[in-house]
């Protein structure tokens, strides 16, 4: 047996080792550096009462969800019925982070739109959308310029964060929540955190 004819075998075995290790990994899981870290501090205007502000510390002592949404986001529309039915079950309060309502919508010419204009139009659009599609949120806050979104590392809407009583992010879901996600992942995690006391 000459050594060079063993080369394919050796290469293949090394390769198979990698594949075996690959089986233990989950390619769909994108790590978030925020997991187990405190929620980024924010103070934003409430959609229902723009003169009052709301921050993460207002939810301290509760297990809650932060759901990033916008009226221009097509996938949010897909996810929305799931959130509405979750809200009806009254398991967990959902806080909506309305993300770049106006400037995120690619179809709008933002030149010459003042921040006041933008805020007013954002509130109008967001309220109408919730009126049309149902409002699952305990409350929503307005992230007009998307700065808070950056702190949360949002790179695709919708995203959902699960936050524990101590104000730490425990889980992040990217993309629309499907009924399966809810039943198999999210609800068990919520129950676990609530039990943890």
Measure the CA–CA gap between 76 and 137, rounded to whole angstroms.
Answer: 13
Omega within 30 of 0 (cis) for the link into 65: no
Contact 140, 46 (CB under 8 A): yes
Of 20-28, 144-152, 157-165, 184-192, the window that binds other proteins (rule: CB under 8 A) is 20-28
Q: Among 18, 33, 89, 114, which residue interacts with other proteins (rule: CB under 8 A)?
A: 18
The minimum distance between CB 2 and other proteins, in angstroms, equals 5
What residues form DSSP beta bridges with 163? 64, 169
Q: What's the sign of the alpha-carbon dihedral 11, 12, 13, 18?
A: positive
Give residue 74's region: left, alpha or beta (phi > 0; psi -120 to 50): alpha
Question: What SS3 state is found at 166?
Answer: coil
27 contacts other proteins (rule: CB under 8 A): yes
112 contacts other proteins (rule: CB under 8 A): no
131 contacts other proteins (rule: CB under 8 A): no
Smaller CB separation from other proteins, 95 or 123: 123
Six token digits for residue 58: 């207002």
33 contacts other proteins (rule: CB under 8 A): no
Measure the CA–CA gap between 152 and 24, rounded to whole angstroms.
Answer: 28
Query: Which residue, 174, 169, 170, 153, is CA-closest to 28?
Result: 174
132 contacts other proteins (rule: CB under 8 A): no
116 contacts other proteins (rule: CB under 8 A): no
The minimum distance between CB 72 and other proteins, in angstroms, equals 10
Of 7-15, 51-59, 91-99, 111-119, the window that binds other proteins (rule: CB under 8 A) is 7-15
Measure the CA–CA gap between 40 and 147, rounded to whole angstroms.
Answer: 11
Smaller CB separation from other proteins, 1 or 115: 1
Q: Among 51, 74, 115, 131, which residue interacts with other proteins (rule: CB under 8 A)?
A: 74
6 contacts other proteins (rule: CB under 8 A): yes
Q: Which residues bind other proteins (CB under 8 A)?
A: 1-2, 5-6, 8-9, 12-13, 16, 18-25, 27-28, 30-31, 74, 78, 107
């Amino acid at each position: 047996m000459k050594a060079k004819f063993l080369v394919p075998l050796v290469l293949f075995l090394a390769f198979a080792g990698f594949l075996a290790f690959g089986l233990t990994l989950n390619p769909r899981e994108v790590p978030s550096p925020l997991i187990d870290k405190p929620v980024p501090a924010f103070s934003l205007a409430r959609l229902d009462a723009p003169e009052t502000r709301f921050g993460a510390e207002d939810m301290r002592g509760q297990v809650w969800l932060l759901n990033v949404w916008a009226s221009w986001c097509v996938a949010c529309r897909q996810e929305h019925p799931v959130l509405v039915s979750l809200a009806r079950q009254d398991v967990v309060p959902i806080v909506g982070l309305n993300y770049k309502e106006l400037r995120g919508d690619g179809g709008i010419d933002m030149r010459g739109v003042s921040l006041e204009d933008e805020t007013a139009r954002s509130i109008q659009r967001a309220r109408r959308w919730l009126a049309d599609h149902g409002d699952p949120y305990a409350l929503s806050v307005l992230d007009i310029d998307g700065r808070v979104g950056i702190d949360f590392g949002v790179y695709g809407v919708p995203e959902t964060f699960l936050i524990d009583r101590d104000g730490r992010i425990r889980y992040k879901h990217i993309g629309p929540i499907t009924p399966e996600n809810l039943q198999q992942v999210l609800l068990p995690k919520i129950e676990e955190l609530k039990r943890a006391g």
